[in-house]
Amino acid sequence: MLDIRERIIGFFSGSSLRLLLSILLNALAIYVAAYLLDGIVLSGTAATLIAGLVLGIVNTFVKPVLILLTLPFTIITLGLFLFVVNAICLALTAALVPGFEISGFWSAVGGALIVSVVGWVLSGLVREDRRDRAH
């Protein structure tokens, strides 16, 4: 019989921990974008965390469809149209989350760029930390 400590450790190891970490990294990246850009507004911590969750869902289900549908534009622009796809995903997240607002297209593009860069850096730091623990 497993004691409560082993159950908690088992719950937070593996996919559950990765999902929670992904939500937190998305939320932190959105917070940084809101801090740096006047056109992005977050009403509080709850809106930030919900936006992190919704952005993860949008990136998982909607973004691949958008990439497939806009593939000709992406090829013609040598990949630059992916910035627009990321902006659409961020704007959709803002439309779905109360307390998260984006004031215009260029704010969405700038916010998507910041969210992508911050998310990339943070996920790289987390991977480095995991590699250090493994050795």
| Winning range, highest mean pLDDT, from 8-17, 69-78, 126-135 | 69-78
CA distance 117 to 133: 25
Q: What is the pLDDT of residues 85-116, one digit of tens each?
A: 999 999 999 999 999 999 999 999 999 999 99
CA distance 55 to 30: 9
Q: Mean pLDDT throughout 31-52? A: 97
pTM of the model: 0.84
